[in-house]
Amino acid sequence: MKKLLTITLLGLILVPALLNSVDLKISGEMWNRWTLQNGMIPADTSMTVYNSGITKNFFSLERGYVGLEAKFSDTIKGRFTVDIFSTDLIKDGAGLKLKYAYVDFGDLIPVPDLTTTVGLQKVYFGSIYDWDYSLIGKAPADGYKFANSADYGISLNGHIPQGWGQYQLGVYNGEGYKNYGANLKDNIDPAFLANLRLTPIAGLTLGGSVMTNGSERQFKLSDATENSSYNTQLLADGLVRAAFGPLDIWAEYLYKDVTYAPAFSAKNYAANCLSVFPTLKLKSLIGADIDLTARYERWDETQLPDSKKKNLLNAWTGGLNYNLMPDDTGNTAMQLQLNYERKDYDESVSGSDFANGKKDTDTVMLQFKWRFSASVK
């Protein structure tokens, strides 16, 4: 509640100030969701026998983005976005996260089409930063925690002339925007990012990202002993997108290599994820603005040293998006989404934590999104 009060006060102070000095755009996006999940439930206190049953059934406001964009000049603009979300799990009735708070400087470095971004901003890794939630689920790199969708840092964002693509270089905290207090990993190593996207021909996009990150500090401040949790991570992503006619297919491969200090090298492991995400836009075929979506993900953590926790997940999602109220540009103000997702752990290679379908789930999600945007001045 304190946070809400703070943000309200900040808004009351900032908005009139901005109104008097800059061009201002206000925007919002709300995601109202119903989630119904079937999973495995312990049959008794022994936790050895499980039965299939409903594990989740709730309505929620999963996201409530409210944003301000202030244009200070043709080359300098700021963005401030909060996420006010609400589920029954939240004590005060609503949660609050600061999602973006950054300034773009278009002319700080004299390179054409290069912007320097400072503050809490997007992380340009894999498909995270341009994931438009055509499926209700997150981008794989976000969902499997390769990288966070937003983080504090500085980045250079450039576009290659003639529309050949884009590139980003960034340095971030590496902790993301959600961790706080005791959740923080006491991380003193910044994360470094390089990302490249090429569009050699219309419809074909090739991309790759590399990021280094770390977790914890190597030697504890309290007694200078070596920290067994300290590790460094090498994260890599390769993606291909083919968009021809009504069909748009993304394929993405993610790789993570986690290395601990030499004394704890037994904990080293690597993981990878392959996902394929096709969308068929029916508008040109039947007139109605409906998209059929699907995704297959194969998340491989079989190299985890903990034999109980190693796992191989196969996840299938099928969905339908009904787009409503298009504006002059074809962007829609409302969208109804229906998704079915099946998560199935391969027990032949997964550990005991995943035995007997304990972690397998079937989930139906129905989501209604609506958004608005208006220039105040």
Other residues' Cβ atoms within 10 Å of the Cβ of residue 351: 17
CA–CA dist 334, 206 (Å, integer)? 30
- Choose which of 33, 122, 197, 295 interacts with another protein (CB under 8 A): 197
Q: Which is nearer to another protein, 166 or 213 (CB)?
A: 166
Q: Does position 132 bind another protein by CB under 8 A?
A: no
Please identify, among the stretches 146-154, 220-228, 237-245, 309-317, the one whose residues bind another protein according to the rule CB under 8 A. 237-245
Q: What are phi and psi of 137, to 5 degrees?
A: -70, 165
Tell me the site size for another protein, rule CB under 8 A: 44
Question: Can you tell me the distance from the alpha carbon of 147 to that of 174, in angstroms, rounded to the nearest whole number?
Answer: 8
The pattern of x and - marking residues 313 through 332 that bind another protein according to CB under 8 A reads -------------x-xxxx-
In 216-347, beta strands by DSSP E: 231-244, 247-260, 269-281, 290-301, 311-326, 332-345
Residue 212 in the binding site for another protein (CB under 8 A): no
Residue 176, number of CB atoms within 10 A of its CB: 19
Binding status of residue 110 toward another protein by CB under 8 A: no
**Which H helix or E strand runs over 5?**
helix 2-21
Rounded Cα–Cα distance for residues 76 and 116 (Å): 10
| Token pair recorded at residue 208 | 């790759």
Q: Which is nearer to another protein, 50 or 105 (CB)?
A: 105
Give the shortest CB-230-to-another protein separation in angstroms.
39
Which residue number, 198 or 234, has a Cβ lying nearer to another protein? 198
Window 142 to 161, contacts with another protein (CB under 8 A): 159-161
Q: Would you count residue 241 as binding another protein (CB under 8 A)?
A: yes
**Binding status of residue 16 toward another protein by CB under 8 A:** no
Based on C-alpha coordinates, what's the Rg of the chain? 22
Rounded CA-CA distance 249/195 in Å is 20
For 142, 148, 291, 323, the CA distances from 95, given in Å and listed in that order, are 20, 19, 31, 28
Among the listed residues 16, 42, 245, 305, the single contact to another protein using CB under 8 A = 245
Write out the two tokens for 238: 């390769």
Q: How far is the CB of 372 from another protein (least distance, A)?
A: 16
Distance of closest approach, residue 247 Cβ to another protein, in angstroms: 9
**Options 182, 201, 221, 374; binder of another protein; rule CB under 8 A:** 201
Told to check if 199 binds another protein by CB under 8 A, we report yes
* Contact call for residue 196 and another protein (CB under 8 A): no
- Window 253-282: residues binding another protein (CB under 8 A): none
Q: What is the helix (H) or strand (E) element at residue 375, kind and residue range?
A: strand 361-375
The residues binding another protein (CB under 8 A) are 20-23, 71-75, 106-107, 112-113, 159-166, 197, 199, 201-203, 205, 241, 243-245, 248, 284-288, 326, 328-331, 375, 377
